[in-house]
C-alpha cells in the first residue's frame, strides 16, 4: 500500500476531492490521511448526481471518457434531482476495491427511477480511482452505449356533452413545416403551398409564407399551418413531395364540429387541458451509437385521464348556432336549464367572436327586458297587481327628461299586464320613479343580475344595477336604460330565476363546484313570480313577440336598448319554454324584431 508523504506542496488534487469536506486538511493542503475507496466513490457519486460531471470524472482513471458519458446521460435524463450514495457491502483486496451504491433519479412529473450498482476502484500512483467503465452509471450499460429517456404521452381524454356525445376529442394534427434553405426556389414552393392550403386559412398567401420563412434563422423550420389529418389528406398529393417541406404529427383535443360554438369550446379546452392530458408514461433504455435500443431499464405505462362531461347539449348548441349564423350583426344566444343552472348552449356568430365571449361577459343596456325586474319590484311592493290599471301615455317627463314609448304609441290606461306585453316605457318609468332608490337594485340581485360567480371552465359577468341617485336615473333604469348593464348570460339567469323561483347556481363542467361570491338573496315571493310569468306569456300571445305565438308555451320579454348617441339600438329577446331559459342579443340590430325571429328559429329547431 502506498502511503501519503508530507514533504512536497506541488501535489495536484483532483477537482472532485473538493467534495471531501469532511476530511481535515493541515499544512499546505495535504490530506492527513489518504482518501480510501469509499471516499473516492462518494466523490464520484455525489458529483454525478449533483451535476458536477467534471468533478466526478476527475476521480476516475479515464476522466475524458467518463465525462463524455456522464454528460450524455444527464442530458438525456434532464433530472430534476438525483441522490447517488455508497451503501454497505463493499470490499477491499489489495489495490482493488468494490463499493456498492444506490441511485435514485427524480425525472420530474412524479417519475422516480431507483437501482443498485457497483463501482470498481483501483489504487494508482494518484491514489484510489474509480476504474471507469459504463457500468459505473448503470449495471446494464455496456461499452459504446448510452442511456435515453423516452416519454410516452397518452392521447387526451375527450370532453363530452351532457348526453355523452363528444364535444372535443383526440384528433391527429399534421404540422406543415418549411425550411427555406432546403426549399431551393422559395417563391415557387411558397406559391404551391399557399395555393393548396388557402382553403383552410384565407390569410395564407404566397407572400405570407415567404415572409414567415424568411424571418427565421437558418435551419429553423417555419410552421406554415396545422391541419387535421382529414384536411391534410385532401392536399397531401399537392404538397407532400415539395422540397424543404416536412411534416410532423401529434394528437390534440379538437372540436368534432368546427362550427359548434368555437368560442365556448376553445374556452373549455383551455380550462381542462391539464385535466384531460393524463399522466405521461416513460421508459429509460440503453441504446447503441446508432440510436438503436438495446435494453429497457425501467418503464411505466402512460395513464390516460378520464373524460370530462360538460353541461352543454350538442343539439341545443347546434340549434343556437344555426339560429344566429346568418345574422349580419354580432349575435349571441345563451340557453340555461332553470332547475339546475346548467348551461345548455353558449352560441355566437363570427362578428361576436371577434369581440370575445360577449355571450357570457359582454355588458350591454338590457332595454325593456329589464321590465321583468321592474315589474317584479312593483308587484312585490303590493301597490299594484297585474290587472291594476296603469297609464301608458306616449311620453312622460321627469326633471326635464322626456321618456317616449317606441314611436310614441299611446295606450291610455291599461292593465299592468298589457303595459308589460306592449312594452310601455312610460308606464315602467313611472313605476320606477315611485319606488325607493334601491328597489330596482335589490330586486335585480334577487333575480341574479349583479350576482358574481366563479364558474369552473369559464368567466362570467351577469351585469350591474347601481342604486339610483336621481329621479331621472330611476326613470331610465325602470325600462332598462340609464345605468343598467347586463350580459346575455345575466339575462338568461334572470329568466331562470323567474322560472325556478330562486337563483340557480350556474355551471358548465359536471363534477365541479361553482363558487357564489355574493351574499345569499331573499327570493322574490312566489305569488309575485307567478304574476311575472303570466305577463311574460302575454308578451308572446298578445304583445311584442306575437311573431312566435305559434310555438306552444313560450313566454318572454322583448327589448330595444339604445346606446351611444341614442340613434342606435341593440335588439333583445329573453324567455323560457318549460325547463329551458334563453337570452338572445343582436348588437346594433335596431329593434327587438330580429331577436324574436332568432329565438323562434332556435326553439323550432329543438322539436
Query: What string of DSSP letters covers 347-413?
Result: EE-HHHHTT-SHHHH--B--GGGGHHHHHHHHHHTTS--TTSEEEE-SEEEETTEEEE-GGG---EE
The predicted pLDDT at position 381 comes to 96
Instruction: Identify whether the C-beta of residue 466 lies closer than 8 Å to the C-beta of residue 484.
Output: no
pLDDT digits (tens, 9 = 90+) for 537-551: 999 999 999 999 999
3-state secondary structure of 104: strand
CB atoms within 10 A of CB 358: 23
Q: 234 — phi, psi (to 5°)?
A: -70, -30
The predicted pLDDT at position 109 comes to 84
The predicted pLDDT at position 279 comes to 85
Say how far apart CA 373 and CA 445 lie, in whole Å.
9
Phi and psi based region of residue 463 (left: phi greater than 0; alpha: psi -120 to 50; beta: remaining): left
The predicted pLDDT at position 12 comes to 40
Phi and psi based region of residue 406 (left: phi greater than 0; alpha: psi -120 to 50; beta: remaining): beta
Which of 485, 482, 456, 457 is CA-nearest to residue 469? 482
Sheet holding 568-577, edge to edge: 342-348, 331-337, 580-586, 568-577, 555-563
Q: 325 — phi, psi (to 5°)?
A: -60, -40
Q: What is the pTM of this model?
A: 0.80
Phi and psi based region of residue 279 (left: phi greater than 0; alpha: psi -120 to 50; beta: remaining): beta
β-bridge mates for residue 283, sequence order: 150, 299
The predicted pLDDT at position 278 comes to 84
The predicted pLDDT at position 3 comes to 39
Which three cell numbers mark 354?
371577434
The predicted pLDDT at position 34 comes to 84
For 568-582, letters b (16+ CB in 10 Å) and e give: ebbbbbbbbbeebbb
All residue ranges of the chain with pLDDT < 70 are 1-32
Which residue has cell 467518463?
Answer: 66
Amino acid at each position: 500500500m502506498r502511503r501519503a508523504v508530507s514533504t512536497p506542496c506541488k501535489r495536484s488534487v483532483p477537482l472532485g476531492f473538493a467534495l471531501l469536506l469532511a476530511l481535515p486538511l493541515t499544512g499546505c493542503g495535504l490530506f492527513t490521511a489518504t482518501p480510501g475507496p469509499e471516499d473516492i466513490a462518494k466523490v464520484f457519486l455525489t458529483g454525478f448526481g449533483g451535476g458536477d460531471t467534471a468533478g466526478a470524472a476527475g476521480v476516475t482513471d479515464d476522466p475524458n471518457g467518463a465525462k463524455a458519458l456522464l454528460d450524455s446521460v444527464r442530458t438525456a435524463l434532464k433530472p430534476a434531482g438525483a441522490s447517488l450514495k455508497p451503501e454497505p457491502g463493499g470490499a477491499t483486496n489489495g489495490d482493488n476495491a468494490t463499493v456498492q451504491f444506490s441511485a435514485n433519479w427524480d425525472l420530474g412529473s412524479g417519475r422516480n427511477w431507483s437501482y443498485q450498482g457497483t463501482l470498481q476502484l483501483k489504487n494508482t500512483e494518484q491514489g484510489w480511482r474509480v476504474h471507469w467503465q459504463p457500468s459505473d452509471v448503470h449495471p446494464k450499460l455496456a461499452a459504446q452505449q448510452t442511456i435515453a429517456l423516452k416519454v410516452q404521452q397518452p392521447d387526451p381524454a375527450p370532453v363530452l356533452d351532457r348526453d355523452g356525445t363528444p364535444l372535443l376529442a383526440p384528433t391527429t394534427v399534421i404540422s406543415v413545416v418549411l425550411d427555406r434553405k432546403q426549399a431551393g426556389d422559395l417563391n415557387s414552393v411558397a406559391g404551391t403551398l399557399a395555393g393548396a392550403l388557402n382553403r383552410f386559412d384565407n390569410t395564407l398567401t404566397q407572400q405570407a409564407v415567404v415572409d414567415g420563412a424568411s424571418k427565421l434563422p437558418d435551419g429553423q423550420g417555419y410552421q406554415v399551418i396545422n391541419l387535421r389529418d382529414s384536411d391534410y389528406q385532401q392536399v397531401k398529393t399537392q404538397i407532400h413531395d415539395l422540397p424543404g417541406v416536412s411534416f410532423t404529427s401529434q394528437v390534440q383535443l379538437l372540436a368534432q364540429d368546427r362550427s359548434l360554438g368555437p368560442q365556448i369550446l376553445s374556452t373549455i379546452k383551455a380550462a381542462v387541458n391539464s385535466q384531460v392530458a393524463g399522466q405521461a408514461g416513460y421508459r429509460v433504455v440503453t441504446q447503441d451509437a446508432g440510436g438503436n435500443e438495446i435494453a429497457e431499464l425501467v418503464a411505466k405505462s402512460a395513464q390516460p385521464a378520464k373524460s370530462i362531461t360538460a353541461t352543454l347539449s350538442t343539439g341545443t348548441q347546434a340549434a343556437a348556432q344555426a339560429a344566429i349564423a346568418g345574422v349580419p350583426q354580432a349575435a349571441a344566444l345563451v340557453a340555461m336549464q332553470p332547475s339546475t343552472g346548467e348551461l345548455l348552449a353558449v352560441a355566437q356568430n363570427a362578428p361576436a367572436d371577434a369581440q370575445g365571449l360577449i355571450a357570457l361577459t359582454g355588458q350591454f343596456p338590457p332595454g325593456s327586458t329589464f321590465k321583468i325586474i321592474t315589474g317584479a319590484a312593483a308587484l312585490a311592493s303590493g301597490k299594484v297587481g297585474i290587472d291594476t290599471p296603469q297609464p301608458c301615455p306616449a311620453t312622460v317627463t321627469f326633471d326635464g327628461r322626456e321618456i317616449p314609448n317606441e314611436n310614441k304609441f299611446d295606450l291610455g290606461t291599461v292593465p299592468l299586464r298589457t303595459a308589460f306585453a306592449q312594452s310601455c316605457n312610460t308606464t315602467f318609468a313611472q313605476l320606477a320613479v315611485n319606488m325607493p332608490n334601491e328597489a330596482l337594485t335589490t330586486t335585480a340581485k334577487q333575480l341574479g343580475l349583479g350576482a358574481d360567480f366563479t364558474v369552473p371552465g369559464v368567466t362570467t359577468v351577469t351585469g350591474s344595477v347601481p342604486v339610483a341617485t336621481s329621479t331621472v336615473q330611476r326613470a331610465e333604469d325602470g325600462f332598462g336604460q340609464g345605468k343598467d348593464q347586463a350580459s346575455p348570460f345575466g339575462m338568461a339567469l334572470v329568466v331562470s330565476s323567474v322560472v325556478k323561483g330562486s337563483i340557480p347556481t350556474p355551471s358548465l363542467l359536471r363534477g365541479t363546484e361553482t363558487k357564489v361570491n355574493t351574499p345569499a338573496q331573499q327570493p322574490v315571493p312566489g305569488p309575485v313570480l307567478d304574476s311575472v310569468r303570466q305577463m311574460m306569456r302575454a308578451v308572446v300571445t298578445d304583445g311584442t313577440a306575437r311573431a312566435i305565438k305559434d310555438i306552444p308555451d313560450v313566454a318572454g320579454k322583448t327589448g330595444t336598448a339604445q346606446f351611444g348617441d341614442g340613434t342606435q339600438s341593440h335588439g333583445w329577446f329573453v324567455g323560457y319554454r318549460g325547463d329551458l331559459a334563453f337570452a338572445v342579443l343582436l348588437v346594433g340590430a335596431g329593434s327587438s324584431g330580429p331577436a324574436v325571429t332568432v329565438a323562434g328559429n332556435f326553439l323550432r329547431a329543438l322539436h
